[in-house]
Amino acid sequence: MAAELEEDTKSMNIPVSQTHAEIQTHQKNLYEARSALKQKDEELKSLKDRMTEMETFYKEKLQEARSALKQKDEELKSVKDRVAPDLALSIKTGDTESMNNPVSKTKLTEMYNKLRLQQWPKVKDHLKSNAVNREFTRDLTQKMFRDAAEEMERKKKQIDEVFGLIENSSGLTPQKVKEFRQLTIHSLQMNLYHSRKDDLLQSPFLDDEAQYSQDVMVNFRLLASECYWLGCLMALNNPPLQPDWENHSPGLDAWDIFPRDIKSVAVMKRK
* Tens digits of residue pLDDT in 71-107: 756 755 654 455 455 445 555 555 556 667 899 999 9
Q: Are 201 and 225 in contact (CB under 8 A)?
A: yes
Coarse DSSP helix, strand, coil percentages of the chain, rounded to the nearest 5 percent? 75, 0, 20
Q: Are residues 53 and 76 in the same domain?
A: yes
Q: Is residue 184 part of a domain?
A: yes
My answer on whether 87 and 108 are in the same domain is no
In angstroms, rounded to a whole number, what is the distance separating the alpha carbons of residues 150 and 269?
A: 15
What is the model's pTM? 0.63
CB atoms within 10 A of CB 54: 10
Residue 3 lies inside a defined structural domain of this protein: no
**Number of domains observed in the structure of the chain:** 2
On whether both 114 and 76 belong to a single domain, the answer is: no
Q: Which domain holds residue 199?
A: 102-238
Same domain, residue pair 233 and 210: yes
125-173: pLDDT as tens digits: 999 999 889 999 999 999 999 999 999 999 999 998 888 776 666 666 7
Taking a C-beta distance cutoff of 8 angstroms, is the pair 242, 258 a contact?
A: no
**Same domain (yes/no): 57, 184:** no
